[in-house]
Every structure is written in structure tokens, then in C-alpha cells.
Structure 1
Amino acid sequence: SRLRQEAMFDSAIILIPAHDEAQSVAAVISEVSHRTDCHIVVIDDASSDDTAEVARKAGATVLSLSVQLGAWGAVQTGMRFALQRGYRFVITMDADGQHEAADLGRLFAPVYEGQADVSIGACTRRGSRMRKIAWVFLKWISGLSMDDITSGFRAYNRTALELLSGKDATLLEYQDIGVLAHLKRNNLTINEIQVNMCSRVSGHSRVYSSWLMVAYYMVQASILGFSKRSNR
């Protein structure tokens, strides 16, 4: 019911990392605001455009980083902000319009109800050839079994927040293999729900934009995945 969903979101905060997403971030904030009364925080990752100003005008709280930290560094900044303010849950979503606010309730429910520490909105259909090759290899080397290892559409409980806000998670560059392997190694439970994802409003994937970028990502993620792989 709507009342139940409103109560559920009272203890959650929505984090949106954004780098040069001025064209799409306002629409994302508007859609989320239409679906929930959650506190929305945009972490502006040293954008060169007016992402911060657009997000602020759209009604979000904006945390501006003076140095670009990447998606995971921005998310971790938001997680520390959430913990300082006493939030029990965090939901993360992208600023490029790919994630649908209509799925927020389904994504969050397993974490809110205590069925999982982390919930991931999975969409394997969106994978390009490069992405699918990377997924198969990285799942093999890291021992991870989830369908979608790169989705930034996630919900975390306080246990996961405290773990991922710590120094052991600080040097991770992306919010996928290293983060998921770190969670698994510490015996946190991860749930996946299938969601639809839209095409980006503008721009392109920074990881899967070229074979050179994919090669860099694969080497970096492989080292992380192997080093954090659970032996259990």
C-alpha cells in the first residue's frame, strides 16, 4: 500500500553519484520525488558542467567533491553522510536516467524486511558484447554468482553501510566486483530483483566506451576480485 511504502522510505536516503550529468539529473530527481518522499542526495563528482546547480534547483541536497573520485568514491562519500545523519538504509541509483523510480519499492523491500543486507536491481539484457564478455570472466575470477555485477541500482542496510564506509573499501574504483566481493567475504547476503533499465539520456558508459577502457577495467577488477575472493 502507499502508506506502507511511505513508512518504509522514512528510514532511507537515496544517493545519486553524478559526473557531468546536467542533462539528465533533474529528470531523475523529479521522478524519484514523485514516487517517494525520501531525502535525495546528489554527490557531484567534480563535474565540469552545472550538474550541482541543476540538482540543487531540482530539490536535491548536493555534496560537491573538489576532486573526481569516480562512482564508488562518490557513493562512499554519500554513505558516510548517511551514517552521520543516522539513516538505516541507503538506496543508490545512477544520474543518467537508466534506473526507473517505479522499481524503488521492489528493490528496497527485501532489505527493509530483513531478507537481505543488499538488494541489486539486475538487468542482464542491457549488456553489450563487451560488457557480457567482461561479466563472464569477472564472475569466474571473483567467484561471484549474481546475474548483474555492474548495476548501480542498489539498496543497502546499516550493516552493509558500516562495512562499505570503512577504510578497507576506500580504494575501490568501481562499485561492482570489489564492492560485491567485499560484501561476500564478510558474509553479507545479497539479493537480486529483475528490473528494466532505460537507455542513457545522454553520453555513454565510461567503462564500456572502448576496448582500451574495457582492458583497463578488466585488469583492475580482476586484481580486486581475486584478492577479495572468499575462500569459503
Structure 2
Amino acid sequence: MRGHIDMNQIFFVIPAYNESFVISSVVRAVQKLCSNIIVVDDGSDDDTFSEAKSAGAEVLRHIVNRGQGAALATGVLYSLSKGAEIIVTFDADGQHDPSQINELIEPILQKKTDVVLGSRFLDSKLKTQNLHNVIPFTRLIILKLALLHQWFFTGLKVTDTHCGLRAFSRKAAEKITITQDRMAHASEILEEIARHRLSFIEVPVRVRYTAYSLEKGQRSLTGSIRILYDFFVGRFLNVKR
């Protein structure tokens, strides 16, 4: 235990939509580190709910598909209600490496920062490779545009706006409000960090792009356009709030 926080006060929030193929293996991998695993089934029409539950996760369910941002908001609020002191967000498609979790939570345990953001672009292995061989081209373009969007609107200088592997202190999780249901939530989280003057650091994380995760991800032109749409419509709605 460090900083009066034990593992029973650390919660994982895993938003999931039609992830029955991999969700049980993801839950079991995380269980080696933490028992408080909250899977938010975002209106899946497959066996995601039953697979996650049988693997040992606590599963919340949206009746209809609302989007990753909405699923995260549901999971974070529920975790806070259960006494979470640290909340880790973790993707459901098997991209993230659970062995890196300590690198995310340690700075919060030591009271060094409020938020830890994973960054694929700080990974030393990634730096030595052609980015196009590691990250799909359309996704890379979207990520670069997101960096410009973020810097322009918030002044925050980060290397990766859209990595789903993050850790929040309770203080940060209580202050950050996620109102964007879909992909614009990633930018909204950074805007909330800036608005509330929360401290943050980035740490390098490895992402495993499998054939399955690419098929589920934003490889297609349609998916890329959807992210851009969410970014800019989300920005307009935030201005109107």
C-alpha cells in the first residue's frame, strides 16, 4: 500500500461493444492485477455481457448502444460510488498490455499527479519503427489531427490524445465530466483536465494491433470520418454548454 490506497480501492473500467470474442480473456488478464473490474456493455447484440460476467467482471449494461464516451461515464460514476480512489480505463479489444498498469498507477499512488495518460508515441520501440507499420495509416492521420485540435483549443501539449489506457485519481475522476457519448470524449477529457487545472503526465504504453482489433477499430475511411465529426461537433456542443 502507498499513499493510504490499497488494491481494493483501484477500479478498472472497460467499455465494451460486441466484444464477446475477446472480452473474457481481457477480463482474466486484468484480474491478475485487480479484482475490481467494471465492464460496461454498451448495448451489445452478441454475448459480451455473459462472457464478461462469466469471466468474473461486474457488468453494467446500456440497453442501447450509446458510444464509448457514455460507457466510460457510466463506469467511472459507478466506480466512484463504490469507493474507488484510482480508476483505470482499459480497452476491451485486447490492445492494451496489463503488465504496464503499475506504470500508470504508481505516480498517482505516490501523489505525484492527478492523471496519467498512456501514449503510444512515447514507446521507444515505436520510435525506431516506421509508424505506418505499427499504426494504421488512417488512424495515424486522425491522431495527428487530434493533436492539433487539442493544442489549438486547450493549449495542452500531449503526444497522444486518443489512447484509451489512462489512470485517474479520485479527485480527477470527480472533477472530469464526460458529456460526449462517442469518440469526442477523448478530447473532452483533456479539455476537462485543462479546465480544472489538474496535473497530468504521459507514460509510454505498448499497443498490440491484431487483425481483430483493426477490424473493430477506426481503420476504415468511414470510421475516420466519424472520429473527425465527433471531434468538431463535440467542440461546438461544448462551446454551447
CA spacing shift, 1:180–1:206, aligned 2, 3 Å:
farther
Cα distance in structure 2, aligned partners of 1:61 and 1:73? 17
* Structure 1 unaligned spans of 5+: none
- Check whether the contact 2:115–2:169 (CA below 8 A) recurs between aligned residues: yes
Cα distance in structure 2, aligned partners of 1:207 and 1:57? 25
1:127 aligns with 2:139: no
In the alignment, what sits opposite 1:173? 182
In the alignment, what sits opposite 2:222? 212
How high is the TM-score relative to the length of structure 2? Answer: 0.83
Aligned partner of 2:63: which letter?
S
In the alignment, what sits opposite 2:109? 112
Deviation at 1:45, TM superposition (A): 0.6
Q: CA RMSD in A?
A: 2.3
- Check whether the contact 1:17–1:75 (CA below 8 A) recurs between aligned residues: yes
In the alignment, what sits opposite 2:20? 22
In the alignment, what sits opposite 2:29? 31
In the alignment, what sits opposite 1:188? 198
In the alignment, what sits opposite 1:78? 75
**Secondary structure, counterpart of 1:37 in structure 2:** coil
- Check whether the contact 1:108–1:155 (CA below 8 A) recurs between aligned residues: yes
* Structure 2 unaligned spans of 5+: 127-133
Cα distance in structure 2, aligned partners of 1:141 and 1:13? 30
In the alignment, what sits opposite 1:157? 169
1:197 aligns with 2:195: no
Deviation at 1:105, TM superposition (A): 0.7
- Check whether the contact 2:41–2:71 (CA below 8 A) recurs between aligned residues: yes
How high is the TM-score relative to the length of structure 1? Answer: 0.86
Alignment of 1:44-63 (within 5 A): 44-63=41-60
Deviation at 1:23, TM superposition (A): 0.9
- Check whether the contact 2:10–2:34 (CA below 8 A) recurs between aligned residues: no
Aligned partner of 1:28: which letter?
V
**Secondary structure, counterpart of 2:214 in structure 1:** coil
1:140 aligns with 2:148: yes
- Check whether the contact 1:107–1:120 (CA below 8 A) recurs between aligned residues: yes
Cα distance in structure 1, aligned partners of 2:118 and 2:149? 22
Deviation at 1:8, TM superposition (A): 4.0
CA spacing shift, 1:189–1:227, aligned 2, 3 Å:
farther
- Check whether the contact 2:67–2:181 (CA below 8 A) recurs between aligned residues: no
In the alignment, what sits opposite 2:130? none
Cα distance in structure 2, aligned partners of 1:40 and 1:201? 25
CA displacement 1:133-156 (0-9 Å, x = unmatched) = 222222223213211111111111
CA displacement 1:113-172 (0-9 Å, x = unmatched) = 2212111221134432222222222222321321111111111111221123x4xx3234
Cα distance in structure 1, aligned partners of 2:164 and 2:213? 17
**Secondary structure, counterpart of 2:206 in structure 1:** coil
**Secondary structure, counterpart of 1:15 in structure 2:** strand
CA displacement 1:47-95 (0-9 Å, x = unmatched) = 1110110111111111011011211110110111111112111111011
Cα distance in structure 2, aligned partners of 1:135 and 1:149? 7
In the alignment, what sits opposite 2:84? 87
